[in-house]
Each structure stands twice: as structure tokens, then as C-alpha cells.
Structure 1
Amino acid sequence: MTGGDARLRGRRVTVRVPASSANLGPGFDTLGLALAYYDELEVAVRDEPGATVEVHGVGAGEVPTDASNLIVRSIAHLFADRGIELPGLDLVARNVIPHGSGMGSSAAAIVGGLMAARGLLDGIVDIDGDELLRLATELEGHPDNVAPALFGGLTIAWTTPEGPRHKRLTVHRGVSLLVAAPDSVTVSTALARSLQPESVPHEDAIFNVSRSALLIAALIQSPELLFAATEDKLHQTYRASAMPATSALIEQLRAEGFAAVVSGAGPSVLVLCSDPAQRVEAAAVIERQSTTPWTVHMLAVDFKGATVVAHPAEVVA
């Protein structure tokens, strides 16, 4: 190969990354859930410099297919962090996570790239989970989506002067998830964040602190508390004008007793159900409303997070 570390020659990895839902109502920029809905990626080192990206599924014909692709930039970010020259790369991405939907598509791309880099560098450098979280947060700007994509389950993420940290928790087996994504509607995270006020009333902050604490208890121990635990006064109301159909559906679902919240920055809706039967009932409510077409995903919680598999090197003499 031309330049780079000769040990990388012929290396190939496949990566699987779950979708994620952040905030979960009151846990703004802190709580996230990994969803059993996966983007898959294959990355191979080639002799020629540069990068090519082949995209199948979501984003095909839309996302960059050269070195400016977010996955490639994420791989390059880890290589640069370790002071290793980036080799030539061939990528094949098979995407199912909708873009701009609030299901963590950018986090999946970032985590996918970092996990691919970790796999390619296996045996050359050691990269632990904390380092991956730091690099992912540098690229994403906040850890709430990248943490569950990396580690699976329910994650609590926070930042310190030394970098981002996380705690992974196991979700109660009775919790069932439903994500409703509006067809052909997207909302950028930057737009959603721009609608946030710089300060909120003291009583609203206290309200969300109590609900966030309750939500953790509900998700890991007491699913019957999910409805009360998903109340929010910190971000959803302020963002409602950017996604009126989302706001209307959440209002309708909550009026009928379902723990519905904005998934991430939206416009998708996440419904946290205490059992599978309740999830079926929530889907029926969504189907009854006809003002906006929604694609309903009945999903499990992903417990593994992102995974990488290295394949035997294919070197042609």
C-alpha cells in the first residue's frame, strides 16, 4: 500500500450500530435509549489513497460518497487522534435509520466510523470505551445519542472537565418501545436547539429534575410510572412550533394515557409502554389519526450497543 502503516494492509471490518432516542421527555441532553434498529457498515483498507463510499437504503444518492462523508470523517478523527496516517478506504453503508428524524442517524454514523477505526487498528493501538465516547462527543457535540449507540441499553451521560462520562443501565423487561416517524418530514437538531431559551423558570428546572429521577426508576424498575415520569417543561414545548404534527400526536397520545415524548430533536415520537399490549393500543391511536402519515416501528431496547467484527486480511501478493 502507498504510505500508511503496512499492518493495515488488507484489513476489513463490519460494524453494526443501533438507532437511539435521546431526552426521553425530561432527560434533556442526558438520557438516551438504544433501539434495536440498525445501520450496518463494511470498511476495507485499500492500497490507493482516498475514500469511496457506497450507500444503500436511507441516504443513497443524498449523502457524500467521498472523504467528506461523516463516517469517513469519524474514522479519520480517531486515526488523527492516535497520530496514525489514514489509509485508503472502501466503505459500504447499509442504512435504515431515517435521517433528520430524531432516531440518532448522525450518532450512528459517527459511532459506526469510530468502531470501524477501532476494528481496523486492533492489535496496533488500544482504544477503550471512554476514549470512544470522548471522540464521538467531539464530533457530535453532546453525548446523549452517542452513548447509547456505543454502549446499548439506557444511558445517563454527563460532561466533566476531563471529558464526557456515562452510566449504562438495564431496562426493565416489561418496557416496550414504539417509534412513530412522520413520512417526508425532518427537523435539524440545530433548528430545534435554536428554539430553546437561554434560561428557564426555577420551578420548571425543579420539575424536570424530579421527573428525570423518576424516569430512571420507571425504566429500570417500575414501568407503571412511565406516564408521570415522561412529563417535561424544559424543551418540548419550546420546540413545538417547528413540528406541529409531532406536538399534536404527542398531545393526543398523552390524553389517552400513553407515555409519548419527542424522540431526540424530533420529529419522531417515542412511546414508552409498560407492556406489549399497551404498545399495540398506542399504534391503533396513531393509525386512527389521518392528518399526517406516520411509519410505526415497534422496537425492542438494544442491549449490546455498537459491535465490530474483523475479517481475515485479504492481501494480494
Structure 2
Amino acid sequence: PQYHPIYKEYFKDIKSIEKIDAHTVRYHFAIHNQELPLITGQMIILPKHIYGAKGKTFGSDFDDIAVASGPYTIEKYDYGKYITYKRNPNWWGKSIAINKGRYNFDRVTYKIYLDPVAQREAFKGGEFDMQLVNSSRDWALDYKGDFVKKGYYLRTEFPHTRIAGMQGFAMNMRKEIFKSRKDRAALAMVFDFEWSNKNLFYGQYTRNDCYFDNNPEMKSKRIATGEVKILLESLRAKYKSSVPKTALTKPVGAPGQGSSAERNIKVANALLDSAGWKMGSDGIRSKGKDKMEFELLLAGPGFQRIAEPYKNNLKKIGVHMTIKVIQIAEYEER
């Protein structure tokens, strides 16, 4: 952490580390955070006799071949240009059942490109064999045409069932305008995912229905039955305001999902009307001393193209959203 600002911020709540015995250490945390044990478990264990050797400074450019225990060893490299791994025939894990059928290449080379355009053109020129694409725009526009038609390369998608990450708008429920579930539903349903997906993401995104999206074993796809229904009924009996009746009568989904943008705007206006938010002469709703306005904080400009159409739809229901883009360090602090 002392050598890189990202790790310094990430591990800042680890107050101290105490050695218990030859195989045990105890971490002391500065705050209560249920995620900290998981964050701590992500720390990489490095051999002190290598990286802490006399004359070595880990924070400087350390270009010695790393000590590792995986299926490949480093065969050769040119710092900043490429690195080649060679399969280790004596690897300790090759006979373990979980590794059967894996690590089949004798040699793997990773080439380093600092410019994504140069990388893409090098791929088209046959300088390397496989290119991972994580941009919907690039996938839709840059990897097609004669190169595909003539079979110079294959466009292949690899479906998986890992729990997928999520992107979304997190509402600060310490703010008065976000405390009511009805108000939050009104704000959420005017985000037009279908429009954004078609016009910004080339139709390649799917909307998350739950935090276990993409995992068929954990994701709920239909109305609750059996033990799940019993659990929801008991939770609704105890926390009626937090567990809506629709949790028992409808499949999971975002507010307004599957309805047209025009209908969602109409429903959102009705929800805010019923909640007592009055439309002002300035086009912004208010209730008592509170105005229906808030700031959306972004850690970079990339999400701004998604936020602007959302801002326009919020305006149609009397909500004013200000978009503020700041640096990642300030974002973490805020």
C-alpha cells in the first residue's frame, strides 16, 4: 500500500497486523466494515527473502522474474513490450482433478500495447492470435467486415454463468428525498434502459434483475414458491413497509421494467403527486422545505453519456439532477 495510491486507499482501514505464530497473523481494523475480512484476503503473500532482500526496494522498478507456484514459468520478456510463459512440466497441481483439461498451451505470449487503436490494427495484421474485447462500441463497429467474411479472424462470444458485476445509480437514503420507497421507485422508473441500450450500447447490454444476475442457481426468475415464498411472507409480516406485496405476486424486476418510457413518466408523476410533491413554477417539485433536486457524482466522464438522458427524463417529472464529474480520489473520499 505504501507504494501505490490505489492500494493505499483500498487497504487504509487495516490499522495494524500482529504476528501470532509462524502460521498465523491477526489484522486489526480501524472501523467496523463487514467487507474488510474479504478485502484483507485479497492481499498477495510475497516471499520476504526475495522482495525484502538487502539492496532491493519493492517500490522501485522491480523487474526480476517473479517467484510463483502456477502452471507456467516465465521463459523470456522484454520489459514493456512482451512476456512469454512456458508450461512447467513438473507443476505440482497438474494431477489435481480440478486442473484436468486446463493449461493446454505449451507457450503463451502476452504483447503490450499502450494505444488501443495500434493494438487493434496489430491484431488485424496477424501479430497475435487472440484479442479480448470489452467495449460494446468496438465489438459492434471495429471487428467486422472483410476480415470476418474472409475468415481472417472469428468473432466469438463465450457465455458464462458467473455472478456478473453491476452498474447503477445508488441513492443516498440519508437524504430526505430518497427515504420513501415510492419516491425512489418514481426516480428509478424514468431511467430509460431500453433507449440507452439501443443508442449507446448497440443492444449488447442486459438489465440486472437482481444482485445475483446471470447465475441460474441463485437468480429468481419467477414468482416465489415453496420455502422462498414462506420466507418472504414472514419478512413481509415483520417488515411490511420494506417488503412490498408485489414481491409475492410478480417476478423480480426494476420499477417500470418492460413498460414504455412514456408510461413510466406518467406513472412516476402520479407517484410523486400522491406522495405530496407539488410542482413549482420553476418546474421543480417540492414538499415543505425540501425540493426534489440532487447531485449525481461521477468518478469519470465515461458514465456522463448515460446520465444526461436520465437527467432529461427526470426533468419531465419535476426533478432536477446536477451531474458532477470528479477525480477518483475525491470520489472515494466523498
> Into which bin does the TM-score normalised by the smaller protein fall?
under 0.3
TM-score w.r.t. structure 2 length? 0.24
Q: Per chain length, whose mean CA-contact separation is higher, i.e. which structure has more relative contact order (CA < 8 Å, sep 6+)?
A: 1
TM-score by length of 1: 0.25
Largest Rg, 1 or 2: 2
